[in-house]
Structure 1
């Protein structure tokens, strides 16, 4: 029996990384030769998974991350696990899953959107210095045997910035429950959801799902739909500055065509009501929402700094435009609208893209990686 510990600090039901861990744990639970433990501050209850609490007191985000890392190491050293897979930047783990991407790369892209004074404030923030030091220390630690990347983009970034050799890197895309996320959602929810949210039955509708509106591009999505009077947008997700985006929608003259619906426990009805998915993110290693959208038969419009762009063939199952190219995003939306006669083809191609990315396939690849190490 192999004893595996998975380390993730916190659980946010709306968080993509957390949903990946929950799905991975559920899939791995079915393996009779694997005993799975979870080291976390708090988590949802999962049958067959033993939860070890690492929840030390903290004030501020630097102390929070440092304290959790220290406590998690104490726990896994005490328990003498066969493998420790961390989803946090903690030196000494056997496996690191780079689900959050590379922090240094995110900061590089973030600075492109900021003024001089905002860049200075970003540089002065001690949390970013802590994360970059922790990231570098983890990749240099000789205990690290394998890095699981959720996109080729992330693999390249780790190789370029930290020199991790190719044999210690593997790409495993996020899995999706293709029985739950399926084109049949359209027949089930399209009519009732559009009626509920007062969207015309035949109006073209783009869907955005995600929290963290600034990074993931809600402003860019609002700008992208502005020229198209018939086009609607539904925004699913929470953001503490949501009022800013309500105001921006009003300033752009699109407020009547935008529905801010907040965070949702069940996003499937929203996939069912939409015609395509939009995520103009500045940086996203591989968002679960993109593969959920594809599995639901929604073409995906995203950016080259989103790992899911690796699955997109422009004009077939979606399209790609630079996050900071406002004109490029409006043209991408224009091209999608102009291809309405081929939407059925786009939707079928989107679903076909996600079909191999099942939870079982993800679990098989994870287990193959573990067996290789053991």
Structure 2
């Protein structure tokens, strides 16, 4: 095996982001391979591991379009100058060898988002210059002759890319995200009890957890409405500038005492371990890591058909799949989950389903893809 140089492109590297966790799990798993790892980014947060090369690429910007276009041009110049063996971009930049479609297809997201907007606003969405720029960049990237492979984290996204851009099926690889199932574990009875006491959650309540920043897209509105007339609690982990609006919604529906806002958390295990199920009525999500994390902690999951994570859910076995706007359906699913996840057959089946998604499997899939492309 010859030594080869791989470049990963991610504009803003945030340790808690889904794409970043994919990159860092991949990088850790790839460390023992004979390759040099390069990251091209505008800003890097967190430590730089030995052997990684970080290239800061931070051109001047004013506004969203100039931010995207400026980074795309500067990153492309840098990788052409460095002449890496493979360039894997997590941003829509024409000219990369591999694109990881972690955000799915932009038009599909806009279509789902417009379902919750008044008509005039949804027209505005598709006319918006920034969204038009993103869709155009995506189109150009999929059409670029340099593109050798696309990595998706769900079959749902693979189908969308084929339909929307006509990319040949044999260029698209579905590689599910990895989860460290020895770190994310179901709690013991005592641990669960202690966590509830610590966070002031009634020890005998049935609690659903919602995890994610960007409350509109991930469906917090629907989650609150679904639990409002029940006796279930909702643990909200994540941040959003509109948090006040969701607090007001809980108060107006009379469930403010059962909706607990915990803000952004650097470590989420504790919160999964005191919950009884994940409720994620997301409008559009290729495959959020939180689904794997929750299932690893033995939680059944309620999500939507426009979430790639639905591919892991069998109704009544380890969770339920309902439309993001079907409040009645979501509520029925909430009530159908076991009152306590710990010790339930649904919780055990949830964990069994993700055991295969190991970092080792992810890295072997990536390595074989990289070598096949280099050859």
TM range (shorter): over 0.9
Whole-angstrom CA distance in 2 between matches of 1:189 and 1:16? 27
> Normalising to structure 1: TM-score of the pair?
0.96
- Report if aligned partners of 2:298, 2:342 keep a CA contact under 8 Å in 1: no
Aligned residue pairs total 370
Q: Which residue of 1 aligns with 2:222?
A: 220
Partner secondary structure for residue 90 of structure 1: coil
Structure 2 residue aligned with 1:113, among 110, 113, 116? 116
1:156-193 deviation per Cα after TM superposition (whole angstroms, max 9, x unaligned): 0000000000110010000011111112x355742222
1:127 matches 2:125 = no
CA gap 1:67/1:341 in 2 versus in 1, 3 angstroms: closer
- Report if aligned partners of 1:205, 1:274 keep a CA contact under 8 Å in 2: yes
* 1:341 Cα deviation after fit: 9.5
- Report if aligned partners of 2:110, 2:126 keep a CA contact under 8 Å in 1: no
Q: Which residue of 2 aligns with 1:314?
A: 315
Q: Which residue of 1 aligns with 2:146?
A: 143
- Report if aligned partners of 1:197, 1:259 keep a CA contact under 8 Å in 2: no
1:29-64 deviation per Cα after TM superposition (whole angstroms, max 9, x unaligned): 222x11111001112323121101111110111110
Whole-angstrom CA distance in 1 between matches of 2:251 and 2:245? 10
* 1:13 Cα deviation after fit: 3.1
Aligned alpha-carbon RMSD (Å):
1.5
CA gap 1:343/1:281 in 2 versus in 1, 3 angstroms: farther
1:164 matches 2:160 = no
CA gap 1:371/1:296 in 2 versus in 1, 3 angstroms: same
* 1:369 Cα deviation after fit: 0.7
1:248 matches 2:249 = yes
Q: Which residue of 2 aligns with 1:357?
A: 357
- Report if aligned partners of 1:4, 1:37 keep a CA contact under 8 Å in 2: yes
1:82 matches 2:88 = no
Partner secondary structure for residue 12 of structure 2: coil
1:195-252 deviation per Cα after TM superposition (whole angstroms, max 9, x unaligned): 12221111111011100000101011001111212x1110000101000000000011
CA gap 1:340/1:242 in 2 versus in 1, 3 angstroms: closer
Q: Which residue of 1 aligns with 2:334?
A: 333
Runs of 4+ aligned residues of structure 1 deviating over 4 Å after TM superposition are: 339-343
- Report if aligned partners of 2:4, 2:36 keep a CA contact under 8 Å in 1: yes
- Report if aligned partners of 1:86, 1:95 keep a CA contact under 8 Å in 2: yes
1:118-175 deviation per Cα after TM superposition (whole angstroms, max 9, x unaligned): 1133133211000000000000001000000100000000000000001100100000
- Report if aligned partners of 1:87, 1:99 keep a CA contact under 8 Å in 2: yes
- Report if aligned partners of 1:11, 1:42 keep a CA contact under 8 Å in 2: yes
Q: Which moved more, 1:354-363 or 1:17-26?
A: 17-26
Give 5+ residue unaligned stretches, structure 1.
none
* 1:68 Cα deviation after fit: 0.6
Whole-angstrom CA distance in 1 between matches of 2:119 and 2:182? 48
Structure 1 residue aligned with 2:9, among 7, 10, 15? 7
1:294-313 deviation per Cα after TM superposition (whole angstroms, max 9, x unaligned): 11111111001100100011
Q: Which residue of 1 aligns with 2:203?
A: 201
Partner secondary structure for residue 344 of structure 2: helix
Give 5+ residue unaligned stretches, structure 2.
none
Structure 2 residue aligned with 1:97, among 96, 100, 104? 100
- Report if aligned partners of 1:92, 1:143 keep a CA contact under 8 Å in 2: yes
- Report if aligned partners of 1:210, 1:238 keep a CA contact under 8 Å in 2: yes
Matches within 5 A, 1:65-80: 65-80=68-83
Whole-angstrom CA distance in 2 between matches of 1:156 and 1:265? 33
Q: Which residue of 1 aligns with 2:367?
A: 367
- Report if aligned partners of 1:26, 1:46 keep a CA contact under 8 Å in 2: no
